[in-house]
């Protein structure tokens, strides 16, 4: 299972990465893309939307099913990955490169409440 050690994770299978500019990039994990199968559509949030931690803010649809994506932490959506929306299969190809949206966190320390790679590996293995 591909779970990069430098990312933070939500139980609902999103990853989050804090960059030097203070923004948090969010995507779905390799485990999640594998479970969903061939991804064919991404519905991304509006830029400017404020989200709470755990709030539904995007949808990833595979041939098989639609899956809600939750904001891992609270913040404001400041960017979405239009390139991924135009080529949804890129999420299958590399779930950690094909990010979905970027958040300006209300409080960057909220990231500490998320799982580290080892804890997420346990969650994924139990499914």
Enumerate binding residues for another protein (CB under 8 A): 37-38, 40-41, 43, 59, 61, 63-64, 66
Q: Which is nearer to another protein, 23 or 40 (CB)?
A: 40
Q: CB 1 → another protein: shortest distance, Å?
A: 15
Q: CB 105 → another protein: shortest distance, Å?
A: 26
* Nearest partner of 92 among 7, 12, 34, judged by Cα: 34
Q: CB 38 → another protein: shortest distance, Å?
A: 4
Q: Can you read off the two tokens belonging to residue 120?
A: 């997420």
Q: Which is nearer to another protein, 54 or 88 (CB)?
A: 88
Q: CB 59 → another protein: shortest distance, Å?
A: 7
| Residue 10: burial class (beta carbons within 10 Å; 0-12, 13-18, 19+) | buried
Phi (first) and psi of residue 2, to 5 degrees: -90, 105
Q: Which is nearer to another protein, 18 or 87 (CB)?
A: 87
Give every CB contact of residue 5 below 8 A, 6+ residues apart in sequence. 116, 117
């Amino acid at each position: 299972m591909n779970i990069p050690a430098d990312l933070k994770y939500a139980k609902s299978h999103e990853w989050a990465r804090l960059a030097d500019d203070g923004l948090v990039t969010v995507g779905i994990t390799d485990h999640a893309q594998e479970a969903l199968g061939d991804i064919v559509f991404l519905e991304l949030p509006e830029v400017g939307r404020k989200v709470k931690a755990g709030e539904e803010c995007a949808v990833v649809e595979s041939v098989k099913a639609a899956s809600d994506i939750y904001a891992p932490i609270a913040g404001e959506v400041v960017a979405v990955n239009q390139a991924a929306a135009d080529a949804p299969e890129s999420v299958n190809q590399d779930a950690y490169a094909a990010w979905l949206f970027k958040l300006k966190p209300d409080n960057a320390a909220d990231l500490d409440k998320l799982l580290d790679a080892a804890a997420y590996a346990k969650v994924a293995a139990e499914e």
